[in-house]
Copies of this chain bind each other. A is one copy, B any other.
Amino acid sequence: MLPSSLTADGTRLRLLRAGLELFAARGYHGTSIRDIATAAGVQSATLYGHFASKEELLAELVVLGHEEHHRRLVDALMDAGSDPDDQLRALVSAHVASHATFPMLATVANAELARLSAAAAAPAHVLRAKSIDLLGTVIGRGVRQGVFAVDNMEITLTAIATMGISVAAWYPARAAELRIDVLCRSFGDLALRLVQMPSTSP
C-alpha cells in the first residue's frame, strides 16, 4: 500500500495510510481531518502533532508517490542494456508496475496534485518532468539509431505515459487474474508498437 522507502512508524504511519486510503476513495476535499484521524484510531487533534496541516499530509503522500515512481524508472533504465527496445520495455514496465503495485498512491499523486499549492506541488512537477524526459531520451535515441520512428514526439510520450497511469484505476479489480509481470509485458508490447519503425521486419 505504501512503498518501503517511507520512513514512518506508529501513529504517523497510520495517519499516512488512512489519508492515502481516504484521499484515493473520496478525494482530498471529500475527506475530513476527522475521517483520517478516526481511520487511524486517534483524535483529530493528534494529527497536528505529526503534520502542520491537512495539506501537508497530502503533500507528503504526493511527493512520496512521485519519488518512488521516478526512482523505479531510473533503476529500471540502469538495469537495462543499451538496446532501445530493451530500454523502452524497462521504462514502461517500471511505469506500469509502479501503478499496479501502488494504485492508491499513484491515484492520489496524480489526481490530488492539483489540490496542492504551487509551492507544495513543485517537487512533484520536477519529478514528472524528469520522468517524461527519461522516456523522451530513450525514444529519441531509438529514433536516431533508426529503430524507432515517431511522428509526433509530444503526443507519443503523452500516450505512453497515460496508458500506464490508467493502470492504477482498473488493475486492482483484475489483480487476481492478471499478474503484474504479464501486465508489464503487454504494455511493453503496446509501447513498442507505438514507436517501432513500421516496415522494419523482413
Task: Give Cα A132–Cα B156 distance, bound, in whole angstroms.
Answer: 22
The interface centre, meaning the residue of A156, A165, A193, A199 with most chain B CB atoms within 10 A of its CB, is A193
A156: which B residues are within 8 A, CB to CB? 190
A163: which B residues are within 8 A, CB to CB? 158-159, 162-163
Task: Give Cα A201–Cα B202 distance, bound, in whole angstroms.
Answer: 10
Query: Cβ of A152 < 8 Å from any Cβ of B?
Result: yes
Q: 15 A-B contacts, Cβ less than 8 Å apart?
A: A27-B27, A27-B28, A27-B29, A28-B29, A151-B189, A158-B163, A158-B166, A159-B163, A159-B187, A159-B190, A162-B163, A162-B165, A162-B166, A193-B193, A193-B194
Interface residues of A (CB under 8 A from B): 26-30, 111, 114-115, 151-152, 155-156, 158-159, 162-163, 165-166, 170, 183, 186-187, 189-190, 193-194, 198-199, 201
